[in-house]
Amino acid sequence: MPIRALPPLLVNQIAAGEVIERPASVVKELMENAIDAGAGNISITIEQGGKELIRIVDDGSGIPFDELTLALQPHATSKITTSQELDAIATLGFRGEALASIASVSRISILSRTVAQTEAGLVEGEGDQLSQPIPAGGPVGTAVTVRNLFFNTPARRKFLKTDQTETGRIVDMAESVALAHPDIGFTLSVDGRNRWELPPQQSPRNRALQILGTELESELLELQQEERGIQLWGLLGKPNIARSTTKHQRVYLNGRLIADRTIAHAIKEAYRGLIEPTRFPTIVLFLSMDPALVDVNVHPAKSEVRFRNQAIIHGTILHAVRQTLRDADLTPAFDLQQSVTVTPNLAIPPPLPREFSSGMSTEGTSSTNAPAARAFVDYFRQLNPQQKGFVFSEMKAAISDVDPALAELSEEDSAREQLLPSVRSVAEALQVHSSFIVTQDEHGLVIIDQHALHERVMFEKLKQRLDSGTLESQRLLMPAVVEVNQTQLEALDKLRDLLPRLGIELEQIGPTSVAVHAFTTLLFERGVEPDVFIRELLEKSAAQTASPEPEMVLHEVLDMMACKAAIKAGDRMSDEELGELLRYRESIERSSNCPHGRPTTLRLSIQDLEKQFGRR
C-alpha cells in the first residue's frame, strides 16, 4: 500500500483519540480554556452522561469574531507563539488540539463575544464541516456547546460506560479543576438539576472543604511551606481517613491537575507506617514553582509532567508532608454513637480564660465563681493531647498577670510539673484482657492496643540501631536448617546484601536447604525462633511479583521483625513493663500507628462520657 497523506478529518479524529478519551475529557479541556480566558464564573451543563450534551459557559475575554473559525482549526492557539515559550508554559492549554479534536467527533457550536464587540459571533461545526461565523446575540464571554459526542465514530461511543458512570467521572473532573481555582465561581447542572454551586473568591481551604466535605475539617492538617523556590500548600488527611483508592489524592502544579510518580512516591513514603500498605491518604497538595523548571509538554492530555530535578521535588514534598504529620496528634477518637472522628489538633494552648483570671483574688486564692471554674475546666479540655498536661511556661505567664507572687517557682518545680502527667498516666494504667491498656489523658479515656504499640516501639528501636550500624548478632551453637524451594532461593539472593546488616548469617548447604549460623540478638531475646522467622521471610519475599525498592524491602523486613518481637495479645504485663511501654509511647515518633498503619491508640472524649451518663 503506498504512503499517502491522511485527510484532515481522520488526522483530527486520531488526535481526538489521544485528547478526548471520554465526556469528562471534553469538560476538562473546555473548563481549562475558560480559565485561561480569565473567567470569573464558569457554568457546566451536561445531559445523559455528557454523551448528548456538554455546555460550558464563561464570562472570560471571549474570542474575536474573525478568529472563531480559526479556533476550530488544529494547532491554532493564542497561548504560545515561539518554540522558546514551550520551556515556560504558564497556561493550562497551549497545544491548540482540544477544540479541533472535539469538533471532529461531535456537533459543536461556539458563541463568543469580546468586550470590544457590540454583538457576539456564532460558528458551528460537525465532523470536518465548519460554518462561517454569523452575528448573534450574547454576553461577553464564550459558550461552547457539544452535542452527540462520538456520533461519527460509533466504535468509540460503544466503549463509553453508562450515563451514571460517565456523569460520575465528569463530576470528579469538574471538582478537581474547580478545586485548584477558588477565585472562580462554578456551577454544575446534570440532566436539568443543579448538582453543586461553588461561589467565587473562596479561600483555598474553604474551596477544598466544600468539595471534600466539611465533615472532614477536623481530620485535615494544613501544610504550608516554601523551600528551594517551591511553594507548597495543602490539606493532609489523618491516617484514619485513608481510602482504598487514590480517588481522594489530588496533586496540582501551578494550577494544573497532574499525575506524577515522583510525587506519589514521596507522599506514600511520608505516610509509611501510618496507614496500611493497601490504602491511600486523603490529600490535596498544591505546588507552585517556576514554569521553566518543569516540562508539561510530555502528554497529549497534559496530565503528566517532567521535572528538571526530580530529586529536589521528591525530597521537598517528603520532608514537608512528614513534618506536618509528625507535628500533629494522630490519635483517633471514637464516638459511641457515630463513626470515628478525630480530636482537633491545637498547636498552641489557648490563652488562660478571662473568667478564670477574674476569678482569682489578689491574694492568689481562687474565688468560688462558677463561671470561672467552668472556664478553667474548658481551658484544660482545649489543650493539645500531645502536651499531656498544660505547658508550664504558658500557665506561669498567665498566672503572673494575675499575681506575680504565684509565678515565683523554681526550675525544679517546673521540671516536676512537666514530668507529672506521664508518671500519673503510668500509675493509673490498667491492662484489660491481657490485650489492651486503659489509661487517661486530658481529653478523656485512652485505650491502647499493647501489641500494636509495642510493635511500633520495636520497629523504631530496630530502625534506630540500624541507622547507627548493623544490628547486634548472636551465633548459634548448632545451625538452624530451613528447607526452601527454588523461588525462595532466588528471593534469598535479593536479600543477601541486607541480611548481614540485620545480624543474620545464612548459607546454602544443599539444593533445597539453607543454614542459619547467626541471628539477630534482639529477636533471640524476644523468643523468636530463627528457622521459623527465616522461612516466613523467604516466603514473603518470594511472593513479591515486582522488584521492590531497597528501602521498601528494608521497611518490610523491619516490620516483620518488630511484629515477631512485640508483646502479643494475651501476654500478661508486669507493672514495670506496662510503665516502660507507656513511657516509650511518649518518646517515639508515630506512636499513634503500628508499622503496618493500624492505630495503636483510641480516645473516648470526656464529652462523650458525660453524654452517655446523662450529665450534659
Three-state SS string across 23-34, please?
HHHHHHHHHHHH
What's the pLDDT score for residue 189?
Answer: 96
Domain identity same for 451 and 526: yes
Instruction: Tell me if 467 sits within 8 A of 458, measured CB to CB.
Output: no
Number of other CB atoms surrounding residue 323 within 10 Å: 13
Distance of CA 118 to the CA centre of its chain: 48
Let me know whether 512 and 381 are in one domain: no
Torsion sign (Cα): 257, 263, 267, 268: positive
Higher pLDDT, residue 210 or 94? 210
Global pTM value: 0.64
Amino acid sitting at position 417: E
Residue 392 has pLDDT above 80, yes or no: no
Q: How many CB atoms lie within 10 A of CB 581?
A: 19
Residue 348 pLDDT greater than 60, yes or no: no
Query: Are residues 318 and 379 both part of a single domain?
Result: no
User: What is the arithmetic mean of pLDDT over 128-136?
Assistant: 88
Q: Give the pLDDT score at 163.
A: 92
Task: Judge whether 527 lies within some domain.
Answer: yes
- Cβ atoms within 10 Å of 278's Cβ, excluding its own: 8
Residues 442 and 563 in one domain: yes
Q: 89-120: per-residue pLDDT in tens?
A: 666 655 567 888 888 889 999 999 999 999 99
Q: Please state, for a pLDDT cut of 90, what percent of the chain lies above it.
A: 29
- What does the chain come to in residues? 616
Band (pLDDT 50/70/90 cuts) for residue 347 is: very low
Which stretch of 58-67, 227-236, 422-431 has the lowest confidence by average pLDDT?
422-431
What's the confidence (pLDDT) of residue 487?
83
Residues 417 and 440 in one domain: no
What percent of the chain lies above the pLDDT cut of 70? Answer: 76
pLDDT of 191: 95
More confident residue, 596 or 473: 473
| 373 lies in the same domain as 311 | no
Structure-model confidence comparison of residues 217 and 542, the more confident one: 217
Instruction: Quickly tell me which residue has 498544591 as its cell.
Output: 286
Which residue type, as a one-letter code, is found at position 518? A
Task: Name 238's Cβ contacts closer than 8 Å, sequence gap at least 6.
Answer: 219, 220, 221, 328, 330, 332, 342
Which residues constitute the domain of residue 344?
Answer: 339-427
Residues 397 and 532 in one domain: no
| Range scoring the smallest mean pLDDT among 32-36, 160-164, 350-354 | 350-354
Q: Indicate whether 410 pLDDT > 80.
A: no
Q: How confident is the model at residue 316 (pLDDT cuts 50, 70, 90)?
A: very high
Please tell me the distance from the alpha carbon of residue 489 to that of residue 533, in angstroms, as a whole number: 15
What's the whole-number average pLDDT of the chain? Answer: 79
The reported pLDDT for the residue numbered 336 is 54
Q: Is residue 419 part of a domain?
A: yes
Q: DSSP label at 472? A: P
In a domain, 2, yes or no: no
67's CB contacts (< 8 A; 6+ apart) are none
Compute the distance between CA of residue 130 and CA of residue 77 in angstroms, rounded to an integer.
17
Q: Look at residue 80 in the predicted model and tell me its pLDDT.
A: 58
CATH number of the domain enclosing 497: 3.30.1540.20
Measure Cα distances from 87 to 33, 254, 310 in Å.
Answer: 20, 14, 17
pLDDT: is 612 or 454 the higher one?
454
> Which residue is listed with cell 473532573?
173
Q: Which of 73-87, 134-148, 417-431 has the lowest mean pLDDT?
A: 417-431
Closest listed residue to residue 281, CA positions, set 343, 221, 226: 221
Contact criterion met (CB below 8 Å) for 149 and 25: no
Pick the last residue of a domain from 148, 169, 198: 198
- The pLDDT of residue 167 is above 90: yes
Cell matching residue 119? 454583538
What amino acid is encoded at 281 in this protein? P
pLDDT score of 342: 40
Q: Do 452 and 549 sit in the same domain of this protein?
A: yes
Average the pLDDT over 164-175 and give the result. 94
Regarding whether 406 and 453 lie in a shared domain, the answer is: no
pLDDT confidence band for 556 (50 / 70 / 90): confident
Say what the pLDDT of residue 584 is: 84
Quote the pLDDT of residue 82. 59
In a 13 Å sphere around the CA of 601, the CA atoms on its Cβ side amount to 27
User: Are residues 169 and 246 both part of a single domain?
Assistant: no
Do 311 and 300 share a structural domain? Answer: yes
Strands 41-47 and 185-190 come out as: parallel
3-class SS shares of the chain: helix, strand, coil, % to 5: 40, 25, 35
Domain boundary among 301, 326, 351: 326
pLDDT recorded at residue 232: 95
Predicted confidence (pLDDT) at residue 479 exceeds the cutoff of 50: yes
Q: Backbone phi, then psi, for 284, in 5-degree steps?
A: -125, 120
Grid cell 474575536 — which residue?
64
Task: Give the pLDDT band of residue 466 (cuts 50, 70, 90).
Answer: confident
Which of residues 198, 221, 255 is at a domain's end?
A: 198
Range 217-230 average pLDDT:
90
Please tell me whether residues 15 and 136 are part of one structural domain.
Answer: yes
- 40-49, 281-290, 494-503, range with the lowest pLDDT: 494-503
Is 455 inside a domain boundary? yes
- Cβ atoms within 10 A of the Cβ of 444, count? 18
Q: Backbone phi, then psi, for 79, in 5-degree steps?
A: -85, -35
Q: Amino acid identity, residue 462? A: L
Residue 192 CA neighbour count, 13 Å, CB half: 0
Give the CATH number of the domain where residue 158 resides. 3.30.565.10
Would you say residue 3 lies in a domain? no
Amino acid at 506: L
Position 332 in a domain: no
C-alpha–C-alpha distance, residues 321 and 599, integer Å? 19
Q: Please report the DSSP string for 493-516 in residue order.
A: HHHTTTGGGGT-EEEEEETTEEEE
The answer to the question of residue 331 being in a domain is: no
CATH number at residue 246: 3.30.230.10
Bridge partners, 362 (sequence order): none
| Number of domains comprising the chain | 4
Predicted local confidence at residue 422, as pLDDT = 41
Biggest CA–CA distance in the chain, Å, is 104
Task: Label residue 75 left, alpha or beta by phi (over 0 means left) and psi (-120 to 50 means alpha).
Answer: left
Residue 391, in any domain of the structure: yes
pLDDT at residue 84 in the model? 55
